A and B are shown apart, each in its own frame.
Chain A
């Protein structure tokens, strides 16, 4: 069965860095787009970034552009999110999600359990 397991969250000071990981299993990882989606405490979902199956196409939300870097290692079935220059407003649960490309857009058919990132002094 499809499994996505995030790790790497924690408490970090403003301006600091953190690297999130997502270990995938139960499917051919290299066949799928992957995304990071976050949810601030008590708030809604916010798409953060996605990466194509080969890693050649990458997009970011404006709120994280220039600070976050998404990457993947298909040999290790892993997705990453390097987060630099963290701000208090980056505090959220970060979900890794599998993307399905459809004729008119894409959606997320499997989600991990999430990892909490807290940015505070």
Chain B
């Protein structure tokens, strides 16, 4: 079974600065997807960014980018120019490749990000 580990329960960043959230995972599969989801307080979870394991290029979405190291099974999220609205729980998640038959997401325990004005 796959596992996802987020070793930083809490992080803080100054507004306009850059922060990196860590995620490692364990799998024996070669094809899979990785995701970062954001869960603001009392609000629903939204997708921040996704990465297909077969793609060597790191995914980028505006101020959000990932550092995907397949051999090391590492998938970190970098948030640039942090904004107050970035304050939330961030979850790293893993999903098997579609053909593997299992579509469930396996989540880490999350990292609570605080943004200091």
User: Do A and B actually bind?
Assistant: no
The residues of A with any CB-CB pair to B shorter than 8 Å are none
The residues of B with any CB-CB pair to A shorter than 8 Å are none
